[in-house]
Chain A
């Protein structure tokens, strides 16, 4: 498969802040490629440079075979864009919005087909101000497809949506995969990246800390089991239990990563009894992308 996006040593600073600090990656045609990371990690800046909306300080960036620093208008014909937290013209209907944007491209898809794709046929003639948050985001994704682009950039399309609306957008993105589109996705929901992306880059402070298939990232993490519970009192002693390789305590909730689950479990209950601590809401699970992220960056992503 051909590389449809290549980024080599991309850098961008705002004053003293290195928003993007020398990242490199390639994306293959038809892939769903994700960047996960907290706000301010540099995901949006990266996407906007790839979309030709911002200029990189340095780096060699080709999108759909086009040097984004040279031919921005030609680039825009070939890509579809959904920007983070963008609004619509309130007093145009969903269909009119798609018509107006479609008219700005040399080629475009019929609005009704796009509305069907994102499951908004019933809202076709409603003003966009009447749409719910999830419906607006689905319309934004439809807008990103209006020119039948090879590459679709989605910047946190599900942020702020309720779980049901999020799932409904996941269905749309899965549909994009079957259409053979290359999808560039940012998110701070690990579950979303794990479920949808062929490959994921974990980004923080302008750098990509790890980049691979979600399953591979988790396998590389090796510490396969996570023991999670709530504990009152000083939890630091749990970190030295047998088998524990890493510990994280947040808001009175302890997470222990272990490759020797039985020993660790026995140790947790012994210690709790000896210290007279209550252990609540006990859970054992496989490590997830969330845990990989925590391991790499030392913190969780907060919504």
Chain B
């Protein structure tokens, strides 16, 4: 007896069904493209409303702390991050995360004590080294000027004397990052999630409801044959989505992919497998197509908003961050973003991929355990 040779045919048939189903094409391909298009046009590379500034406090006195507090004052257009060492800060300026990095040198406190005491020497100055990102957007330059103004204001308020704090600018050639650069990997991760979860869940549940699964069960092909034949085309669709969305991002919105495309595709497959497994689990616990649709919405919606697609996780309230870190999309969007805009290699996204792999394994095992033919 010859072994059954129909597996490739079954894969092709599933691919055909994907393509013939308008819903899939719209949701998997068109929707994310339109989404990225609209958001890309809306947010594009507009001037930032706030500057990201980093402070490296090498002094650690009440005075240096007072300066840092001044920068963080909410009336100023600054988002302030604390850096404990200079190198990390400079890297952040280079990759575009920070517009400027202010180094508060050792001796700052002593200098300010001197300036505020009646016997102080009025002729010495102190240099604040400020690394600023030099890019085509010019936001680093604007931020640099603002830093000078704020530090002048700080000095005047403290001493009532003309400012003796000199900003010493150090230009760092930096990438220009706009919202679209942040958004592109986010949308890609979202598209992979949507098509993965919906693609498998609705197929299995509707086939079960219509008793097609039972009919398939009556053939010698086992569950692995049937399901793999559906998963392979789902992965292919994910790769097509990736290619289309990345092309749109690169050619229409000038997103610069820093990282290696191969690594990006591998990360994409990790995500696709996680969400296909999640779709499988949804199908295993849903009794009807309606139930599956609701559950799919319930699973994907929170991730849609909290999974780092539109809003960086760090900007979420802390309690919500805890929630976000329980979601696979958070790790997936982070991995894609790290590769795309920071040029991360496998080592840097190993934690993300590890979490995704564990998630996929657990979810898949659970889905297999709960799988029913009818």
A89 near B: Cβ within 8 Å? yes
- The answer to whether A73 touches B211, judged by C-beta atoms less than 8 angstroms apart, is no
In the assembled complex, how far is the CB of residue A194 from the closest CB belonging to chain B, in whole angstroms? Answer: 28
Q: How far is the CA of A132 from the CA of B207 in the complex (A)?
A: 19
Is A86 in contact with B6, judged by CB distance below 8 angstroms? no
Q: List 18 A-B contacts (CB under 8 A).
A: A53-B218, A76-B220, A77-B220, A83-B211, A83-B214, A85-B211, A88-B212, A91-B17, A91-B20, A96-B13, A101-B219, A103-B6, A103-B9, A103-B10, A104-B225, A105-B220, A107-B2, A143-B215
Question: Considering the chains assembled together, what is the distance between the CA atoms of A104 and B16 in angstroms?
Answer: 18
Query: Nearest Cβ distance between residue A10 and chain B, in whole angstroms?
Result: 19
Q: Is the CB of B20 within 8 A of A53?
A: no
Please determine whether A92 and B16 come into contact, CB atoms closer than 8 angstroms: yes
A294 interfacial contact with B, CB 8 Å = no
Encoded as 1 (CB less than 8 Å from any B CB) or 0, chain A from 76 to 98 comes to: 11000101011111011000100
Query: In the bound complex, do residue B1 and residue A107 qualify as a contact, i.e. CB atoms below 8 Å apart?
Result: yes
B3 part of interface (Cβ distance < 8 Å) = yes
Residues of A within 8 A of B4 (CB): 103-106
Closest to B7 in A: A103
Cβ of A204 within 8 Å of any chain B Cβ, yes or no, is no
A104-B10 contact, Cβ under 8 Å, with A91-B21, A92-B16: yes
Inter-chain contacts of B222 with A (CB < 8 A): 73
Give residues 96-138 of A contacting B (CB, 8 Å).
Answer: 96, 99-107, 127
The interface bits of chain B over 36-76 (1 if a CB of A lies within 8 angstroms of the residue's CB, else 0) are: 00000000000000000000000000000000000000000
Bound Cα distance from A104 to B157, whole angstroms: 83
Bound-state CA distance A76–B218 (Å) is 6
B1 near A100: Cβ-Cβ < 8 Å? no
Indicate if A51 sits at the interface (CB-CB under 8 A): yes
Known contacts A92-B13, A106-B4, A107-B2; 19 additional CB pairs below 8 A are A51-B218, A53-B218, A73-B222, A76-B218, A77-B220, A81-B215, A81-B218, A83-B211, A83-B218, A87-B210, A87-B211, A87-B212, A99-B9, A100-B10, A100-B13, A103-B6, A104-B6, A104-B216, A106-B220
Count of chain B residues near A, Cβ 8 A: 28
- Complex Cα distance, B16 from A301, in Å, reads 43
Within 8 A of A (CB), among B314-354: none
Chain B window 148-159, contacts with chain A (Cβ cutoff 8 Å), 1 for yes, 0 for no: 000000000000
B 1-39 to A, binary, CB cutoff 8 A, 1 in contact else 0: 111111101100100110011000000000000000000
Which residues on the A side are within 8 Å of B215 (C-beta)? 81, 83, 86, 143
User: Interface residues of A, CB < 8 Å — how many?
Assistant: 27
| Cα-based distance from A102 to B16 in the complex (angstroms) | 17
- Contact yes or no, A96 B16, CB < 8 A: yes
B202 → A minimal CB distance (Å): 13
Complex Cα spacing A89 to B13, Å: 10
Q: Does B221 contact A (CB under 8 A)?
A: yes
| Nearest CB on A from B232, distance (A) | 14
Instruction: Report the Cα distance A104→B219, complex, angstroms.
Output: 7
Contact of A106 among B2, B17, B216, B218 (CB under 8 A): B2
* B203, closest chain A residue (CB): A89
Whose C-beta in chain B lies nearest to the C-beta of A100? B13
Q: Does B122 belong to the interface (CB within 8 Å)? A: no
> Do A86 and B211 contact each other (CB < 8 Å), given the known contacts A77-B220, A91-B21, A103-B4?
yes
Partner of A86, one of B5, B13, B20, B210: B210
Interface residues in B189-217 (C-beta closer than 8 Å to A): 207, 210-212, 214-217
Task: Say yes or no: B212 contacts A86, CB within 8 Å.
Answer: yes
Collect the chain A residues with CB atoms within 8 Å of residue B220's CB. 73, 76-77, 104-106
Within 8 A of B (CB), among A120-170: 127, 143
